């Protein structure tokens, strides 16, 4: 658990390579630690490696399919798929995440991007409105990045510009 906690802390500190090392250590010590697999997947995504993230998050879901926080697992998998450009899978998984827990603003946020990229603008705008209703202080991409600095890693930003950010802009979400 110490390696898991340190891995999450290092990610929050935007020390993504250190986060990866700690989470891999947690998994080496407990191959059934679903949360560590999920967090490793997220760290890999923010390192700009979403294709490497997907199997980690899938394993987390296989290990703990009835987790009370399963929405966060589906969100993580949907997000990695979105950044990888797998729009159909992303929309399905993010919709599943929203159904599992509609109170998490970030699920609606990512879903809005995937729907917009698929051309479902009305649904995208509705998901974006739901996100803003749940977290009204997130009014722009700049505010969102300021709240979650690990989203500013250059490798992630390069992928997100073509997917997440492009979809959010298409849904009407401003940069500033």
Q: Residue ranges of the domains in the chain? A: 2-170
Q: What is the pLDDT of residues 101-142, one digit of tens each?
A: 999 999 999 999 999 999 999 999 999 999 999 999 999 999
At residue 149, the pLDDT reads: 87
- pLDDT tier at 99 (50, 70, 90 boundaries)? very high
Residue 150 pLDDT greater than 90, yes or no = no
3-state secondary structure 58-81: HHHHHHCCCCCCHHHHHHHHHHHH
**DSSP codes of every residue in 137-151:** T--SHHHHHHH-GGG
- Whether the pLDDT of residue 171 is over 90: the answer is yes
- What is the CATH architecture assignment of 2-170? Alpha Horseshoe (1.25)
Q: What is the pTM of this model?
A: 0.96
Confidence of residue 159 (pLDDT cuts 50, 70, 90): very high
Indicate the average pLDDT of the chain.
Answer: 97
Residue 165 DSSP code: H
């Amino acid at each position: 658990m110490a390696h898991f906690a340190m891995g999450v802390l290092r990610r929050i500190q935007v020390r993504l390579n250190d986060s990866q090392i700690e989470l891999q250590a947690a998994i080496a010590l407990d191959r059934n630690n679903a949360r560590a697999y999920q967090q490793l997947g997220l760290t890999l995504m923010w390192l700009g490696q979403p294709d490497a993230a997907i199997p980690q998050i899938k394993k987390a879901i296989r290990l703990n399919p009835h987790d009370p926080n399963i929405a966060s697992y589906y969100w993580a998998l949907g997000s990695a798929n979105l950044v990888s450009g797998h729009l159909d899978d992303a929309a399905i998984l993010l919709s599943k995440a929203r159904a599992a827990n509609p109170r998490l603003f970030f699920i609606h946020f990512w879903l809005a991007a995937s729907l917009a990229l698929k051309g479902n603008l009305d649904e995208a705008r509705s998901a974006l409105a739901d996100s803003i209703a749940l977290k009204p202080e997130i009014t722009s991409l700049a505010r969102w990045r300021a709240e979650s600095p690990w989203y500013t890693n250059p490798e992630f930003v390069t992928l997100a510009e073509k997917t997440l950010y492009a979809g959010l802009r298409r849904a009407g979400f401003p940069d500033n």
